[in-house]
């Protein structure tokens, strides 16, 4: 069986960032979001990521960086190699792969 290796940024504001590496069973056609959901279900339920729909590319909740390029995790394809996942640049980090994506005037008063 082939595997995908996800190297994922971990931590939140005020914490030293770290990387955790997970081996995920790989099947052709899977999305990066499928791999992240597998990690949360089978290995680390504390992994913070955001998504609202699957494979629709309409909500934009699952935006993150893959090997430095901004992608939608629901449409980017998982590959049988090491893939580096990071939060969006230039956005306030909430935790792990989650950033504050709403414009400041649309956020609740207590949100980052």
CATH of the domain at 23: 3.10.20.30
Q: How many domains does the chain have?
A: 1
- At residue 98 the predicted structure's pLDDT band, cuts being 50, 70 and 90, is very high
Interacting residues of 33 by C-beta distance below 8 A, sequence separation 6+: 51, 54, 55, 62, 73, 74, 76
* Residue 110 domain-assigned (yes or no): no
* Residue 72 domain-assigned (yes or no): yes
Could you tell me which residue, 49 or 1, shows the higher pLDDT? 49
76, burial (CB in 10 Å: exposed 0-12, middle 13-18, buried 19+)? buried
The percent of residues in the chain predicted with pLDDT above 70, rounded, is 86
Q: How far apart are CA 74 and CA 53, in angstroms?
A: 8
* Residue 112 domain-assigned (yes or no): no
Note down the domain range covering 23: 3-100
* Residue 109 domain-assigned (yes or no): no
* Residue 90 domain-assigned (yes or no): yes
* Interval 8-35: pLDDT, tens: 999 999 999 999 999 999 999 999 999 9
* Residue 111 domain-assigned (yes or no): no
* Residue 108 domain-assigned (yes or no): no
User: In this predicted structure, what is the pLDDT of residue 60?
Assistant: 79
């Amino acid at each position: 069986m082939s595997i995908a290796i996800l190297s994922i940024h971990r931590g939140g504001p005020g914490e030293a960032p770290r990387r955790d590496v997970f081996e995920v069973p790989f099947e052709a056609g899977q999305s990066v979001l499928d791999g992240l959901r597998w990690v949360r279900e089978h290995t680390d339920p504390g992994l913070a990521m955001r998504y609202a729909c699957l494979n629709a590319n309409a909500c934009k909740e699952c935006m993150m960086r893959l090997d430095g390029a901004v992608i939608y995790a629901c449409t980017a394809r998982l590959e049988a190699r090491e893939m580096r996942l990071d939060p969006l640049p230039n956005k306030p980090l909430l935790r792990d792969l989650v950033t504050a994506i709403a414009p400041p005037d649309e956020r609740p008063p207590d949100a980052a």
